[in-house]
């Protein structure tokens, strides 16, 4: 399914909806394979991504929670001040004492 021309305009057929659309309706591929465009038009790609997001919402949340629990020390280590290297909690405690 390469580039086809209709009325002098370059386009291709969407793999999902089967409609011919101009090349502007397709995202370009970073890795140049074939004609350099994705097989699905932007509208079909968006619909597929939204469907996948709402279908896998709970699985995604569970994955994020597992990742956080596994990497808790690394994540918390990043929550420090770049200048004084104190944790966020220590900074809040100092700020509370200064009030």
Residues 25 and 18: their CA atoms lie apart, in Å, by 13
Residue 21, token pair as written in the block: 């659309």
The mean pLDDT of 74-91, rounded to a whole number, is 73
Confirm whether pTM is higher than 0.85. Answer: no
For the chain, give the percent of residues with pLDDT over 70: 86
Mutual orientation of helices 57-70 and 42-55 as an angle, nearest 10°?
Answer: 70
**Phi, psi dihedral angles at 9 (to 5 degrees):** -110, 135
Q: How confident is residue 89, by pLDDT bands cut at 50, 70 and 90?
A: low
Residues 99 and 76: their CA atoms lie apart, in Å, by 26
Return the C-alpha torsion angle 85, 87, 88, 92, nearest 10. -100
Considering the four listed CATH numbers 3.30.60, 3.40.190, 1.20.950, 2.40.128, the one that applies to the domain covering 4-55 is 3.30.60
Q: Can you give the residue ranges of every domain in the chain?
A: 4-55, 61-98
């Amino acid at each position: 399914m390469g580039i086809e021309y209709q009325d002098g305009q370059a386009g291709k057929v969407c793999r999902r909806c089967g409609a011919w659309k101009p090349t502007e309706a397709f995202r370009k591929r970073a890795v140049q394979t074939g004609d350099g465009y994705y097989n699905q038009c932007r509208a079909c790609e968006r619909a597929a991504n939204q469907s996948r997001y709402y279908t896998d919402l709970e699985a995604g949340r569970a994955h994020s929670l597992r990742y956080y629990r596994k990497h808790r020390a690394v994540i918390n280590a990043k929550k420090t001040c770049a200048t004084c290297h104190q944790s966020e909690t220590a900074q809040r405690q100092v700020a509370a004492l200064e009030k």
